[in-house]
Every structure is written in structure tokens, then in C-alpha cells.
Amino acid sequence: MRNRKRTGWHRFINGVTISTTVTVIFILLPLYWLIASSFKSPNDVGTTQLFPSPISGANYSNAFVGYDFGIYFRNSLVVTLVTTALVLILGTLAGYALGRLPMRGKFTTMVTLLIISVFPEVAVIAPLYLLERDLNLLNSYPALILPYTAFFLPFAIWILRNYMLGIPKEMEETGRIDGAGPLRTVWSIVLPQALPGLFTAGIFTFTACWTEFLMALTFDNSNNFRTIPVGIADFGGNFQVPYGTIFAASVVAVVPIGLLVFIFRKFVVSGLTSGAVKG
């Protein structure tokens, strides 16, 4: 039997490499098509051109100048960042309490949260609309921030609670003996170790808010408070769909999420607690 080490490009020919490549291409192709099309001149969009030539920024300028994409981007950013911050702060406190503190009814609370988090949005949107109308909240940032926080918090609490559970109790006790108060303990000892959980919950919440459509359409439909998904959907008029502009706007919309995941990927996957205890 020949047992020669394969050299050159031959060593890349094996089942794993090939199936991985095919899968990656399958997933990335639509994304490539989106990006490539966004850089085509408006007339070339929709043709079978593989590479944009000439490369054109017309779609991008159209999105920002011809439509109010800048405003939508700002709205999305405000709503998403405030919601994510709220969810993480409340989620950390709740997660710590549910994971660590001696409390009655922890199980019931967790199950209730789970039920809420799987509740279909569409089922509550009508009463929520009436409620927001009566409270004069429609067409404002809180109109989205409040329901988003309510909807995405349960999931974040679950993730954070599970992280808190995984942190050895002795570590907090060591903190107490070292002379740290409860807040200091959470800030200096618990939070740094719950970072992967915080990032996971944060990215989830960020993405969910950034792409949410139904509530955004229902509660904030005035031009000044529209978020990106609603804004993009409203591009164009009755008789034409400006695909190039939509593609350009979509690319810009994807950038923050891509950046976020790229920067924090390490934290999300790595187990930061390694070495704390015997293992």
C-alpha cells in the first residue's frame, strides 16, 4: 500500500474540504450577489453580470440622498442600542438574582419567562397597538424600545442566569472575604466571567432589534421614526421597485451586525472561566 504524503494542491482534495467549500459557497452566494449588485450601476441591477462593471456608488448615494436612509439608520441605531443596553442591565440583575440569590418561586419565574419568550409577536400586536395609542407612545423611540425590551429580555435572562450558575460560588465568597461588597463582587468578579453570556445575549438582542419588522411597521410608521427594515420596504413607489437602492441599503444595514459578530466572536465561543477551579 502506498503511504505517500500528498503534497501541493492535492492535499486539499478530500471529502471534508470539498463539502465545507460547497456549503460555504451555498451560504455566501446570496450575500455576494447582494453586495455585487449594490455596486452595479442602477441599470445593470438584475442582469447576469457577475462582477459590477463599472463599479458604481449611485445606489448608495440614492439611498441616502433620494430616500431618508440616514434617518432610518439613526432610528435603528438608537432603538437597538438603547434596547440592548436595557436588556443587558436588567438581564444581568435578574440573571444574577435567579441564578444565585436564595429566593422563592425561581422555577416558576423561569418557566413563565420561557413561555413569554416563545409567545408569537403577532398575537399581542393589536392590544399593544391600542395600549400605545392610549398612552400616546406611537411614533416615538419608546414605542419600540419598551416592547422590544419586554420581548427580548426573557431570552437574555435565561442565558445570563445559566452563566451565573456556572460561576463557582466560592469565587464570590472569596470576594466577600477579600472585603468586596455585593456590587463590587458583581462588577469585579461575576461580570467579567459572565462576559461570554453578556456578548451572546447582547448580539442576540442587537440582531433581533435591528431586523424586527412587524412592531416597527405598526408602532413607528412616520418617516421620522422608521427603522431600517420598514424604511427599506417602503423604498420606491407604486409602479417601480428600486432594487439597486434596496440592495445598497441592505448592505449598509448588514455592516453593524457583521462588525459586531466579527469583533466579539472570540468572546462568544471561548470559555473565559478556564483555570478558575480545578479542571
Partner 1 sequence: MATVSLDKLNKVYENGFHAVKDLSVDIADGEFMVLVGPSGCGKTTALRMIAGLEDITSGVLRIGGKEANDETPKERDIAMVFQNYALYPHMTVAENIGFALKLRKLPKNELDAKVKEAADILGLTDWLDRKPGQLSGGQRQRVAMGRAIVRSPSVFLMDEPLSNLDAKLRVQMRAEVQRIQRRIGVATVYVTHDQVEAMTMGDRVTVLRAGVLQQVDTPQNLYDYPDNVFVAAFIGSPAQNLYDAAVTEGARSIKLGSQEIPLPDAVRTKRPALVSYAGKDVVVGMRPEHLPAAKPGETGPTLVGDVNLIEALGSELVVHFTIDANRVIAEGALDKDEAEAVGKGEGVARVEAKTPVKVGDRMTFGIDIEDMQFFDTQTGLAIRG
Angle, nearest 10°, between helix axes 191-211 and 69-100?
140
Judged by CB, which is closer to partner 1: 261, or 272? Answer: 272
Question: Which three-class secondary structure string do you get for 102-148?
Answer: CCCCHHHHHHHHHHHHCCCHHHHHHHHHHHHHHCCCCCCCHHHHHHH
Name the DSSP class of 40.
S
Torsion of CA 52, 58, 63, 68, to 10 degrees: 170
Taking the C-alpha atoms of residue 141 and residue 215, their distance in angstroms, rounded to an integer, is 12
Q: How far is the CB of 264 from partner 1 (least distance, A)?
A: 16
Angle in degrees, CA 7, 13, 15, rounded to 5: 140
Torsion of CA 73, 244, 263, 261, to 10 degrees: 90
Judged by CB, which is closer to partner 1: 136, or 274? Answer: 274
Q: How far is the CB of 43 from partner 1 (least distance, A)?
A: 55
Judged by CB, which is closer to partner 1: 21, or 188? Answer: 188
Q: How far is the CB of 191 from partner 1 (least distance, A)?
A: 9
Judged by CB, which is closer to partner 1: 11, or 266? Answer: 266
| Residue 236: Cβ within 10 Å count | 14
Q: How far is the CB of 268 from partner 1 (least distance, A)?
A: 16
Judged by CB, which is closer to partner 1: 56, or 193? Answer: 193
Q: How far is the CB of 271 from partner 1 (least distance, A)?
A: 9
The residue among 216, 213, 206 whose CA lies nearest residue 258 is 206
Q: How far is the CB of 161 from partner 1 (least distance, A)?
A: 20
Within a 13 Å sphere around the CA of 165, how many CA atoms are in the beta-carbon half? 10
Judged by CB, which is closer to partner 1: 61, or 174? Answer: 174
Q: How far is the CB of 24 from partner 1 (least distance, A)?
A: 32
Which parts of this chain interact with partner 1 (CB under 8 A)?
168, 170-171, 173-174, 176-180, 184, 188-189, 192-193, 195, 272-278
Judged by CB, which is closer to partner 1: 90, or 171? Answer: 171
The residue among 112, 208, 101 whose CA lies nearest residue 161 is 101
